[in-house]
Structure 1
């Protein structure tokens, strides 16, 4: 029977539908941020990281007997002792963005640059209050420091955006500046805490952008870096302003040493299951004798919670990344914070490592705890190495008390 030209070609139609569905799925699957609530892909590109994954309290620790728990993508507390839920990582200069919802008589707050167990809101922390107008320090005020009275309706979601930089802290509530605090005796680094004092409080979309980072790669040549031409890896700078590592083993080392720092950088493995890493606190001039923040995007049985070879963002031979969120042949964004014995790593805005080195001190980080400053090295792992790096920025974390106290 001759083909009716008006009759649709069912095979062609089915194939077209499948193509459309596949394409739509590809377009709606974000390259970054599937586990970073409150962050857009552009914000992750700009250096924002998520402090709350919406599912667990990874990266947090309770400092009191309070019923902190995760409920429907929020951190919630209703009853228990007065106290804070504290980050395990210390931060210095940053923008912090937090959504909160408080009942009418709730007394809560966000603690900035705080001690784990703060003693006084006008000495060892900044307590940004969440409280009703009847409180001595209503929402948006700094307890014992500065009082403001902005409108903040109870039972609704509101957003704080807090900029901490040196001695100045600026607070926006729902996009409007409500407080600007200047403290000549300002605190340097410190933890971030969510407080329960009384009543129900909920937090969500907790995100942070480190500030004050400076470039350590000019995008033109390897000024500021030490090469090792006797090793196998060839490190070159491309026309696109990237460092390209080919072959291995080998290393590229910063001339400057760093002890406590925030490092943000990007990397891309240019084939599947390649192995590389960023070494830090290295013994200068030695062969990759440092802590290694792993780069390896392989996973087992298509399960991102089962990394191969520790996984991108792990501290190799010390930890395993709790999830692989980066992919080969795509740029990944890594944030590494080394502060004392504590090391934390975010990949594409998602925290994968939260580790404290409890080993005995040793000059060589492969053998024990090293707190001394050391260089940063990029690794060429083996003859299959084909890895690109770019956008290296670093901030040295200040001391806890960067200025002499007058009290």
Structure 2
């Protein structure tokens, strides 16, 4: 009963937008009355321990590390996100964003960053600095000298700004933290700490908003968001000198020789991948390739790296003549989505340079080979996908492909 009183909410003048906020593009993520617009992580409905109490969306406090997460129906990319929050004594919760759903991800925090919320004075265990309120969890620490946190049972207001990689955390009207995502410093922190075994953590540029029930009652209200515009980028993915900006997976060979990126089968003769360390979702990509030996390779789009270091997603085929170069293959589930008709197989130039173009926007994918359109499809599952660009070496050995002029424009 004490907890119920502690976390009760005053409904007056909450969970509404002013006319000016509406004009400025703000939307409410919680209407103060229902859980419409929220569902389980990786689920189609809401079954996790959350309910509405006196105008608050409230965690019942029965969640755990592996459960209790709810997400918005809609994804968001660049935004300002503001919310009020109140914890029970010793409480632990969080606000996550850019969360990605796939069956491979059992919990959302291995994909999306978290603004941590925790009652430090009364928490039952010793906390590291990277676990405390206001942190970008396990990554960046706030300036504690300017922070003022109201105690358990009292309301606080937080804000996250995510603007094309620039991130800010605010608490009770004060900016407490700012950093740039996907910089060398960001990757150094990601790869050396808690997320070193979570290869997809923090890479997505777009995703779901997520609330966490971590075993303690917690209340939220006035959850509102304003989307910010995306800035287009022209990106040179391969610099002609080394594989900076890429990561190798598997034991096959990736190296630079005479300014060219070379993939070559190694002694294990298994699948191998070279994947960008950033996500690219909507883009227009061009690259050139030359097959010096068996050219069974490919370009993965919107793809993720599994725990066993294999890439899963959609592959635009690069293969010897007669084997569907420019076609699209799904590496999990459905297999070939589109194969190339026989009359288009002659477009591939054997043992010579070929120009491939891949344009993907929303659920539409178009591929070209040497200026000729090969595939133009719309696919709902691709439309929901997000992830890296990756080059592949097929298993079996005897493969050698050269690559150059890999660049894209984000859309």
Please give the TM-score of this superposition, normalised by the length of structure 1. Answer: 0.44
Q: Which has the higher helix share?
A: 2
Please give the TM-score of this superposition, normalised by the length of structure 2. Answer: 0.43
